[in-house]
Amino acid sequence: MDIEEQKKGKYVLIRDGEGNELGGLFYKPLPCFGFGIGWLSFLLGFFFPFAWYFATFLYLTNYYRRDPRERSGLAASAIAALIFTVALLITVLVLLFSGR
């Protein structure tokens, strides 16, 4: 029956040899309104940059091994934290050495 449904273009659940469904781990929605911690931290970081550093800490401690769907958001937050840090450092150096 599954082969007939697959030929019709319908989605077929992947099952193991005993008929149990596989992939149940990723049926659960991500935390934080479905965005995941990484993407929510990325968005909040534009208002509270500390959120980027929190997500960077989670990324560096391999938090994404619990759920691989979190990896991209945590990585984006880590990159945003790096860019923010470099921009802040350049701004501070310019203000210190500009003679003000």
| DSSP assignment string, 33-52 | TTT-HHHHHHHHTTT-THHH
Are 30 and 67 in contact by the 8 Å Cβ rule? The answer is: yes
pTM: 0.71
pLDDT of residue 40: 93
Give which of 20, 19, 25, 63 is closest to 41, Cα–Cα.
63
Q: What is the CA radius of gyration of the chain?
A: 22
Residue 95, classified by CB atoms within 10 Å of its CB into exposed (0-12), middle (13-18) or buried (19+), is exposed
11 or 53: which carries more pLDDT confidence?
53
pLDDT at 25: 57
Q: Give pLDDT, residue 2.
A: 57
pLDDT in tens, 50-92: 999 999 999 999 887 788 888 899 999 999 999 999 999 999 9
pLDDT digits (tens, 9 = 90+) for 19-45: 555 555 566 777 777 788 889 999 999
